[in-house]
A and B are shown apart, each in its own frame.
Chain A
């Protein structure tokens, strides 16, 4: 049974569909990457999965159970973590308080998970008493991912985790994503840096105009001349 599955999903804001029949499926230990041109509905798909957007038609299944249009806090309870692209930290809370908020529903886990998150992101440990608003973009992204991991999700949704980061931090984040996945967390992310993202992807979904254009393994998509020509800039 797939970890997460979208079947022929239509959805959008205020009655207008941005997603026009998207299919997507990811197994438990996989990294899935959604790529495509601007306006293809990449982030929209991620938001639909996390219940932030109304699904008008189709099914979204987590562990085989339908979850479309459930409120976000119920999805967190069911093992989903979401890292928005922007405004993804609590700026006036310290790094550690940000992380604690991630485990709000499982306070008994805080200590153990803090240890794990600091292992994934060592720079956060020394900054733990600093307000998250004072950190650099890359460190903020780590706080945001750490916060989502605190709830011990089985599926982590990342919306453009490397947007606006320097190449150094970009590699660092991709590296962390691989580590987190190796620890048994399924990952579904939207990425602008398609080549690098597909290189670590088990599955890639190329969207255009709210529909699947290509779906294959990351390596196969990278090797496909059609994908390269139309979506990866040659």
Chain B
């Protein structure tokens, strides 16, 4: 039974955590692509910016959360979402809008977003330094330990930020679903993604839709970046290293499909954790029934943890080669 708990901790929980963060990041990437038709590489640094705003606000007012029993960082998250949304709209106005007005090719936008990545990373490093900093400033990270069965020694471990991560991810996905399926602007967003010329001919102001897209993408980026930094620590390049898995998730789900991005996020997240999981642990209880010539190695993982990044890369290449439209038949990048 201890082995099962080990599996739950290292695959079920760890996979859900990674998957949820990839999912929120991938929704933003996929929305931006479906409205503006380019791969927004600066998305990860918008995540970092959101987390950085939370860090700044939490450092400035460390005690606020204590009074209501919520980590201060979570209290500050809505403000950080707003600020990141403003940043996203500002970046669009300054860098992407003039390029769109010239009718440039998507690759030009992609390169521009690479430039934005460098600007954002540099600016954040300038103010935050390069080291890691915890987003728990005054409050302490609560860790919940549960013993599911009587005779186990190892508990199932889940931390407070992980609980918030699952809750907020669920909330964000439901809110996005309601927005896209019920609201006038949400439907107009889907319409523009389907057929931009016809959206314009229907009287939909496409500039408004573009701005709304950046607000949503910025808000979601702040959520993903903050929850990631809460779970580990804040670092200026933490989110940047998630860029590849996030794009893999968006492509696996079918670019342009928000629900596909959620599915893709969890597929990539679980693929990563399953690939680095030490399967020998699960086989150990059956050691006695194995034939004597079969020696069970101590580590039986597909890839070592240090090579985890290979997994989304492999998935990305495999999907692009065999099913370039993703699981939900998205657009081909």
Query: CB < 8 Å: which of A88, A89, A92, A104 contacts B204?
Result: A104
List residues of chain B with CB within 8 A of the CB of A82.
201
Query: CB < 8 Å: which of B191, B193, B198 contacts A87?
Result: B198
List residues of chain B with CB within 8 A of the CB of A91.
194-195
Give the distance in Å from the alpha carbon of A192 to the alpha carbon of B123 in the complex.
60
Bitwise, B178-198 to A at CB < 8 A (1) or not (0) is 000000100110110111011
B44 CB, nearest partner CB in chain A, Å: 28
B94 at the interface (CB under 8 A from A): no
List residues of chain A with CB within 8 A of the CB of B184.
100, 104, 107
For chain B, what secondary structure do more than half of its interface residues adopt (helix, strand, loop), or is it mixed? helix
Inter-subunit contact A102/B202 (CB<8 Å): yes
A125 CB, nearest partner CB in chain B, Å: 19
B268 CB, nearest partner CB in chain A, Å: 24
Inter-subunit contact A101/B197 (CB<8 Å): no
List residues of chain B with CB within 8 A of the CB of A100.
184, 187
A69 CB, nearest partner CB in chain B, Å: 15
Give the distance in Å from the alpha carbon of A143 to the alpha carbon of B200 in the complex.
17
Q: Which residue of A lies closest to B184 (CB)?
A: A107
Inter-subunit contact A76/B191 (CB<8 Å): no
Q: How large is the interface on B (under 10, 10 to 19, 20 to 34, 35 or more residues)?
A: 10 to 19
The CB with the most chain A CB atoms within 10 A, among B187, B194, B198, B203, is that of B203
Inter-subunit contact A89/B198 (CB<8 Å): yes
Inter-subunit contact A76/B201 (CB<8 Å): yes
Q: How large is the interface on A (under 10, 10 to 19, 20 to 34, 35 or more residues)?
A: 20 to 34
Give the distance in Å from the alpha carbon of A73 to the alpha carbon of B206 in the complex.
10
Q: Which residue of B lies closest to A76 (CB)?
A: B203
B285 CB, nearest partner CB in chain A, Å: 49
List residues of chain B with CB within 8 A of the CB of A88.
198
A-B interface pairs (CB < 8 A), number: 62
Inter-subunit contact A87/B200 (CB<8 Å): no
A147 at the interface (CB under 8 A from B): yes
B199 at the interface (CB under 8 A from A): yes
Inter-subunit contact A92/B198 (CB<8 Å): no
Instruction: List which A163-200 residues lie within 8 A (CB) of chain B.
Output: none
Query: CB < 8 Å: which of A73, A89, A102 contacts B200?
Result: A73
A151 at the interface (CB under 8 A from B): yes
Query: CB < 8 Å: which of A92, A101, A107 contacts B199?
Result: A101
A105 at the interface (CB under 8 A from B): yes
Bitwise, A60-98 to B at CB < 8 A (1) or not (0) is 000000000001110011000010100111111100011
- Interface CB pairs A-B, < 8 A, 30: A50-B201, A71-B200, A73-B204, A77-B203, A82-B201, A84-B198, A87-B197, A87-B198, A89-B195, A89-B198, A90-B198, A90-B199, A92-B193, A93-B187, A93-B190, A93-B191, A93-B194, A97-B190, A97-B191, A98-B191, A100-B187, A101-B187, A101-B188, A101-B191, A101-B202, A101-B204, A102-B202, A105-B203, A107-B184, A148-B202
The interface of chain A, by Cβ under 8 A from chain B, is: 50, 71-73, 76-77, 82, 84, 87-93, 97-98, 100-102, 104-105, 107, 147-148, 151
Given A93-B187, A98-B191, 17 extra CB contacts under 8 A: A71-B200, A72-B200, A72-B201, A73-B200, A73-B203, A76-B201, A88-B198, A89-B195, A90-B194, A91-B194, A92-B190, A92-B194, A93-B194, A97-B191, A100-B184, A105-B203, A151-B203
